[in-house]
Amino acid sequence: KLHAMGLLGSRRSLALCERLSAAAFCRRRLPCLLLKLRMAQNLRDAVTFVEQGHVRVGPDVVTDPALLVTRAMEDFITWTDASRLRRKVLDYNQERDDFDLDA
């Protein structure tokens, strides 16, 4: 279960649980993963993005920065559809479709 959460690197030994630290839990929080995915430049901005409702995990908009994200859900971290940040990123990458975003 700890491996599925992303807290342990391998499933080989239960002895690895003894060395599990609080920092491992902190690294699985949503703002830290936003930094890892390069969706934010620093931790303060990442927390602000989450609190303002710019980030979703799967179909759910998340406003709690203390959310622990599992390995399975890590791939589903995206911007919300109505987010201005998403619009800016798409404009910068020249991938914005006016028909989809104006709704």
Interval 66-85: pLDDT, tens: 999 998 999 999 999 888 88
Pair of tokens at residue 70: 């599992």
Confidence of residue 89 (pLDDT cuts 50, 70, 90): confident
Q: Is the pLDDT of residue 25 over 70?
A: yes
Q: Are 33 and 70 spatial neighbours (Cβ–Cβ below 8 Å)?
A: no
Q: What is the mean pLDDT of residues 4-16?
A: 77
Q: Is the pLDDT of residue 101 over 60?
A: no
CA–CA distance, 65 with 49 (Å, rounded to integer): 9
Q: What is the mean pLDDT of residues 43-54?
A: 95
Domain boundaries, given as residue ranges, for the chain = 29-93
Q: What is the mean pLDDT of residues 15-25?
A: 82
Q: With pLDDT > 70 as the criterion, what percentage of the chain qualifies?
A: 94
Q: Which fold has domain 29-93?
A: 3.10.290
Which one, of 62, 40, 42, lies nearest residue 51 by Cα? 62
Q: Is the pLDDT of residue 42 over 90?
A: yes
Q: Is the pLDDT of residue 102 over 60?
A: no
Q: At 23, which amino acid appears? A: A
